[in-house]
Amino acid sequence: MKKDYVSVVYDRNRAPKSNYPFKLASYLVSRFNMSRSSKLLEIGCGRGDFLEAFHDLGLSCYGVDASDHCTKNMPHLNVVCLDISEDKLPYDDSAFDVVYHKSVLEHFSNPDHLMKETCRVLKPGGRVIILTPDWVSQMKVFYEDFTHSRPYNIRALSDLLTIYGFSEVKTEFFYQMPILWHYPSLKMFSNFLQMVLSVPNARRLTNMTKVKFFRWSVELMVLGTGINEK
């Protein structure tokens, strides 16, 4: 019997549930000054962990995904199942204050439809927040996910956002360790680890020691954000 992407790649034994989605959502809400009245759309919400976190923080949340995993298992969330690569989003123009997607952009060989729909449903002055694997640090493991199509680095994501008309574009390396969000000075240790460890070796050290700092100091994301100018 054929299984869908979410049930395999995000199987609970392989990717156990944790409090990381809530920590990340809390950080993003605080950093980008989202209010409880903010209306947020997550594109590619997968099994719904991050969407549920934003919902628990009081935002008005909606999601779309190609898998029906979330619609079946989290009926309390406003999730629609559709083919993000070609379907029009089922929302009016200028419907959302925030459009968020994590680990989605890299699955599109041509991001044109995704970006145009993102712009369409964002309000004037609305914010897009994108997280995607950093190609420079993750090139040895990027294609572990057989559905990955196009890698990005800081410059590529910045150019993409600029080309699609976003203003106040900012891109940066993003460390998936909450302690580094609150104590940026610790990044000096992360920077050292990046010079001496590859992602596979950092993963091995984390598996051996159970110290997550090794892996997530080296296995970076790129965070990109911009304001919709309609």
Mean pLDDT of 96-120: 97
Helices (H) and strands (E) in the chain, counts: 11, 7
Which amino acid, one-letter code, is at 148?
A: H
Lowest mean pLDDT segment, chosen from 2-16, 148-162, 215-229: 2-16
Residue 2 has pLDDT above 70, yes or no: no
Reading the block at residue 204, the tokens are: 């091995």
* Contact between 99 and 118 (Cβ < 8 Å): yes
CATH number for the domain running over 5-176+220-228: 3.40.50.150
Domain positions in the chain: 5-176+220-228
Please, are residues 84 and 114 in contact by the beta-carbon 8 Å criterion? yes
Chain segment 183-225, per-residue pLDDT in tens: 999 999 999 999 999 999 999 999 999 999 999 999 999 999 9
- Segment 71-100 shows an average pLDDT of 92
**CA 195 remoteness from chain centre:** 25
pLDDT in tens, 27-52: 999 999 999 889 999 999 998 999 99
User: Taken in order 85, 86, 90, 92, is the CA torsion positive or negative?
Assistant: positive
